[in-house]
Structure 1
Amino acid sequence: MTDQVLPYGRQTIEDDDIAAVAEALRADFLTTGPTVAAFERAFAETVGAAHAVACSNGTAALHLAMLALDVKPGEVCIAPSITFLATANCARFVGAEVVFADVDPDAGLMTPDTLAEALGRAEGRVRAVLPVHLRGDVAELPALQALAAQAGAVLVEDAPHALGSTMRFGNQAERVGDCRHSAMATFSFHPVKTIATGEGGMVTTGDARLAERLRTLRSHGMVRPAGAEPWWYEMPELGFNYRLPDVLCALGLSQLSKLPRFVERRRALAARYHDRLAPLAPLVRPAARPEWSDPALHLMVALIDFEAAGRTRLQVVEALRERGVGSQVHYIPVHRQPYYRERYGALDLPGAEAWYARCLSLPLYPGMADEDVDRVADALSEALGL
Structure 2
Amino acid sequence: MNIFLVRLLTLCILATFVTCDPPAVPHKSNYNRKTKLVENAAGTPRGECPNDQYTGSGMVTSPNFPSNYGNGDSCAYFLTAPDGYVIQIQFITFTTEACCDFLYIYDGPSPIISPLLVRLAGSNLAKTVYSSSTRWMSMQFTSDQTNNMQGFQANFSSVDTANPCNRDVVIAIDGHSTLGTEANYHKQIAFAANTLVTNWTVGSTGIQVGPVLYFTDESEEFNLDDAQSVSDLQNLFNGFRQHPIAGQDLDSMEVAFSLVTGVVDTDFPFRQGWRTGIQRVLVMFLSFPPNDDADLQAAKVYTDKIISQGAIIVLVGLNSNVNITQMIPLSSGPNYVLGVNDVSQLNAAFATSISSALCQLPASTP
Asked if TM exceeds 0.5, the reply is: no
Higher helix share: 1
Highest relative contact order (Cα 8 Å, sep 6+), 1 or 2? 1
Given the two structures, how large is their TM-score scaled by the length of structure 1?
A: 0.21
Higher strand share: 2
Structure number with larger C-alpha Rg: 2
